Amino acid sequence: MRTPEGPRSRLPRSKAGLVVALLLALALGYQLVFGNQGPLGDLVDRLLTALQMQSQPDQATVTRVVDGDTIVVNIAGSEYRVRYIGVDTPESTTKQECYGREAARFNRSLVNGQTVRLERDVNDTDRFGRLLRYVYLPNGEMVNEVLVREGYALARSFPPDVKYQERLRAAEREARQARRGLWAACPNPGS
């Protein structure tokens, strides 16, 4: 299971927007002059792809489910790993923990092949380079919350990404009281 990470430094939104606009202008200018050639061609291509993802970050198609709390999505033709914010499911890839396979299976049944909406909190990525997001199904349900409410995940806060912390904790209380999922199947969930 994941451990909390400390806050990351970040530019104020207005300065970040200015930096993004400047990078975009420079990249487009370079591409107009040199195309994909020149010493920075590959770097400019990658920068433009990243900036395109930033400009349309809310729609994605789930192409693969890694485990209970991580998916791979396609955004504007590029694939990204996404880690759900505020939840932690038992492991099912590197080691097998109680209810890990069930969490991965349930996650797959919810999102695989779906077009989902992604919502960022404070941090864009975690230390492994995965996008950190709240993920919403086409019907508007938050996947992070569904996993917790149905007993496949624990609510976990990793400041500063805590926008829906209370909502997820309430879902966990409901699952625990109803003894859903891992709350019935596993000894000492979350310890």
Query: Domain 59-185 has what CATH class?
Result: mainly beta
Predicted pLDDT at 4: 42
Distance CA 79, CA 151 (A): 29
179 is catalytic: no
117 is catalytic: no
Model pLDDT for residues 16-42, shown as the tens digit of each residue: 667 767 776 776 676 666 666 666 666
Predicted pLDDT at 161: 96
Distance CA 122, CA 165 (A): 13
127 is catalytic: no
Q: Give the global pTM.
A: 0.71
Model pLDDT for residues 41-92, shown as the tens digit of each residue: 666 666 665 655 555 458 999 999 999 999 999 998 999 999 999 999 999 8
**Residue 136 identity (one-letter amino acid):** Y
The string over 118-129, giving b where at least 16 C-beta atoms fall within 10 Å of a residue's C-beta and e elsewhere, is bebbebebbeee
The answer to whether 118 touches 73, Cβ cutoff 8 Å, is yes
Phi and psi torsions of 28, nearest 5°: -65, -40
From 102, 130, 133, 150, active-site residue: 130
Higher pLDDT residue, 2 or 22?
22
From 46, 79, 91, 179, active-site residue: 91
Distance CA 73, CA 12 (A): 27
